[in-house]
Amino acid sequence: MDEHAVVTPARIGLPDEQGHFGSFGGRFVAETLMGALEELETAWLRYRDDAEFMGRLDADLARFVGRPSPIYFAERLTREAGGARILFKREDLNHTGAHKINNTVGQGLLARAMGKHRVIAETGAGQHGVASATVAARLGMECAVYMGAEDVRRQATNVYRMKLLGAKVIPVDSGSRTLKDALNEAMRDWVTNVDDTFYILGTVAGPHPYPAMVRDFNAVVGREARRQMLDDEGCLPDALVACVGGGSNALGLFHPFIDDESVAFFGVEAAGRGLHTTEHAASLCAGRVGVLHGSRTYLLDDDGGQIRHTHSVSAGLDYPGVGPEHAWLKDTGRAEYVGITDREALDAFHKLTRLEGIMPALETAHAVAYGMKLAARMRPDQSILVNLSGRGDKDINTVAEEEGIEL
Amino acid sequence: MNRIDARFAKLRQSRRAGLIPYITAGHPNPDWTVSIMHALVESGADLIELGVPFSDVMADGPVIQHACARALEQGMTWQQVLAMVAEFRRRDPHTPVVLMGYMNPMERRGMEAAVGESARAGVDGLLIVDCPVEESAEPLALLAGNDMHQICLAAPTTRPARLERLASVAGGFIYMVSLKGVTGSAALDIDSLAGPIGRIRELTDCPIAVGFGIREAAQAAAVAGIADGVVIGSALVSVLDECKNLPDAVAAVRQFVEPIRKAMDNNRELPSTPGRPAVGET
């Protein structure tokens, strides 16, 4: 396989031309957005096959983002878990500290190729907002980031980072004042300013072509990991583990392994205060199929079809929907989705920090927690690759607050 | 005959444009909605667009977001919206009612059940905001089986090929979005409407109503000169949002709607269009 080729939908046949993954996905938006989505799709289909564009993207991923990110064997954590070898794909070492930059570099270049002068983004934890503001600064574009007012409070340092990068951070006070409301508001901005504005959506959710396009920009993670495993470990991992909010880091890792039947996929959702409560954000584990943000997918709603408020200690997982391709992976049985509670994630945050000197983002800590549980059930000659999707500097205030410590 | 078709036929006969107010069901108070609907008709409304509250109204501006939130806080449900229409129908068997809402509450109910019970309640059409023509096969078939229309949106950014597809399935009327933006946006440019309206008229006889950003009588009158219907939503919802009790709300509706009706009817410079009889002496 050509290392730099984007994994095209044709390889697995999905999504179809209307953006469907089986019965999921699609383009459930008002007519007011259709023109913009068609323009975006046309541009994406053109540039993903354009050698010059893809060459520029590869160069940026190498020199600006710092790719490839290494695979790291977590020896002490493996001993602690007591079972399979735990390896990390170190996306936390990327510029801006998370996998999010892979997608924003790609969409930023696409925005420029389309002649747009302004980019907008939604953000939950702030990682995607920072990654978007970073790319906008580099490309000399105006940038506005929509962020739920509750998340602005939880992620103050990332808010300041975005401002330092020249972005305008717009707090969103509607609804649950978190990621889903930021996404609504970004869409409203886009339909209003469609002529000069490009919407950098941060995850594999939303209307077609976003789920496929964001997946393809993140698939560099899985492509590298697959080659590195074969080169360094001499075999593919037995399991891949990644956290799932909207699901972009998970799909980025899973996608290039989709035909490797020996590799099991585990997506880890935020079980918050427990799946038996309503205070979680586990749409695949505990939700049902509906329509949100332009896609048919699993979501969390009440019996009247109103979208429910969700809860997670990690702002980046605090989302009531999920990317439609994950819904398809769940229903076909190709991937398994599990929940990790706030408490388990915080424990894993501390364990990884103390045992390996790696401080993970709270989102990522969910994947680490499940990786350890899974390892304990597996043999020492087996291996698990966990996507270490982001670093935890942004979360130290939240961790301190949860521990009752005043900084 | 579907009430929407009957109403537009009558409007064409009398060479008037239809006035289509939008209110959110249950806003500002669920107990007032039916009375407000009657007051709208008495003030000159030809068709009522009744919003089904939803938590995530992506295509709507702050006014309708707020109205939906207020209605939901008071426990509004899909079933209550239908009960309001049924109650309205007891006194008003003629004025068409279109429900405007989003997919998820209807899907949660089940599309087949939702369409069937809407028809029984006396609803004449559904405008499912986030259900574009590509995803419409199921609702369209169900609506047709119940003598109801799916009201389609057309936007300034809708390309010709889509417009054709849209025109081929549109029923009742085509809701033409007047500007790039969300409901309640400020900048309506009436001169920019003639082109898009002309393009739709070349494709279909279906009446065209224009909405988004129309807030007062002069604008409504100008739009009435070139379109078959005028939708006024956010401006009316803002007025209702201030009302403290039902008599206030009814009075406010009259005060808001009557001058608009008058201004629209005084604007007799209707152009001759394919879908409308030629204009005589005016």
CB A19 within 8 A of CB A27: yes
- Do A270 and A179 share a structural domain? no
Residues A168-218 have pLDDT tens digits of: 999 999 888 889 999 999 999 999 998 999 999 999 999 999 999 999 999
Q: What pLDDT was estimated at residue B191?
A: 84
Map residue B171 onto helix, strand or coil: coil
CATH code of A49's domain: 3.40.50.1100
User: What is the crossing angle of helices B111-121 and B137-145, to 10°?
Assistant: 30
Residues A188 and A114 in one domain: yes
Residues of A in contact with B108 (CB under 8 A): 290, 301, 303-305
Residue-wise pLDDT tens digits, A332-358 = 999 999 999 999 999 999 999 999 999
Residues A162 and A174 in one domain: yes
Q: Which domain holds residue A153?
A: 30-53+100-214
E-state strands within chain B: 18-24, 48-51, 97-101, 125-128, 149-150, 152-154, 174-177, 208-211, 229-232
Dihedral angle computed from the Cα positions of residues A244, A147, A20 and B135, in that order, rounded to the nearest 10 degrees: 140
**Confidence category of residue B189, pLDDT binned at 50, 70, 90:** confident
Q: What are the distances in angstroms from CA B240 to CA B32, B244, B248?
A: 10, 9, 9
What is the count of residue pairs from A and B with beta carbons less than 8 Å apart? Answer: 119
Helices and strands, counts by H and E, chain A: 17, 14
Q: What local confidence, expressed as pLDDT, does residue B266 receive?
A: 86
Show the beta-strand stretches assigned E in A211-275. Answer: 239-243, 264-272
pLDDT per position as a tens digit, B260-269: 999 999 875 5
A109: in domain = yes
- With a pLDDT cut of 90, the percent of chain B lying above it is 84
Shortest alpha-carbon distance between residue A329 and chain B (Å)? 22
> Do both A346 and A393 map to the same domain?
yes
- Binding-face residues of A in 274-333 toward B, CB within 8 A: 290-294, 299, 301, 303-307
- Tokens linked to A128: 């995607």
pLDDT, mean of residues A230-251: 97
> What is the count of structural domains for chain A?
2
pLDDT of residue A155: 84
- Closest-CA distance of chain B to residue A307, Å: 6
Give the mean pLDDT of chain A.
95
Report whether A388 contacts A364 (CB < 8 A).
yes
Contacting residues of A for B110, CB less than 8 Å apart: none
Its domain, for residue B10, covers 3-266
**Residues of chain B above pLDDT 70, percent:** 94
Same domain for A225 and A87: yes
Residue A12: the pLDDT is 56
Q: Which chain B residue has the Cα nearest residue A172?
A: B62
Same domain, yes or no, for A329 and A356? Answer: yes
Flag whether B282 is in a domain: no
Instruction: Show which of residues 105-144 on chain B sit within 8 Å of chain A, judged by CB atoms.
Output: 105-109, 129-132, 134-135
Q: What is the mean pLDDT of residues B92-121?
A: 97
For residue B281, what pLDDT is reported?
32
What pLDDT does residue B268 have? 54
What CATH number is associated with residue B52? 3.20.20.70
Q: Is the pLDDT of residue B157 over 80?
A: yes
Q: Which residue has the tokens 């332009």?
A: A294
3-state secondary structure (DSSP) of residue B236: helix
Examine the domain organization and report whether A167 and A155 are in the same domain: yes
Q: A274 and A191 share a domain?
A: no
The values of phi and psi at residue A98, to 5°, are -165, 170
Beta-bridge partner residues of B48: B97
- Chain A residue numbers with beta carbons less than 8 Å from the beta carbon of B165 are none
Asked if residue B276 belongs to a domain, the reply is no
Strand (E) or helix (H) holding A221: helix A220-228
Identify whether residues A373 and A273 lie together within a single domain.
yes
- A170: contact with B, CB 8 A cutoff: no
Residue A377 tokens read as 């059930």
Confirm whether B81 is domain-assigned.
yes
* B130 in catalytic set: no
Structure confidence at residue A5 as a pLDDT band (50, 70, 90): very low
A221's CB contacts (< 8 A; 6+ apart) are A69, A89, A91, A99, A102, A249, A252, A253, A387
Structure confidence by residue, pLDDT tens digits, B30-56: 999 999 999 999 999 999 999 999 999
Would A407 be classed as within a structural domain?
no
When divided into structural domains, chain B yields a total of 1
For tokens 């030809």, the residue is: B46
Answer yes or no: do A340 and A206 share one domain.
Answer: no
The percent of residues in chain A predicted with pLDDT above 70, rounded, is 97
**pLDDT for position B282:** 34
- Shared-domain flag, residues A309 and A382: yes
Per-residue model confidence (pLDDT) at position B226: 93
What's the rounded mean pLDDT across residues B87-97? 98
Q: Is the predicted pLDDT of residue B277 greater than 60, yes or no?
A: no
The SS3 call for residue B57 is coil
Residue B187 has pLDDT above 80, yes or no: no
Task: Assess whether pLDDT exceeds 90 at residue A406.
Answer: no
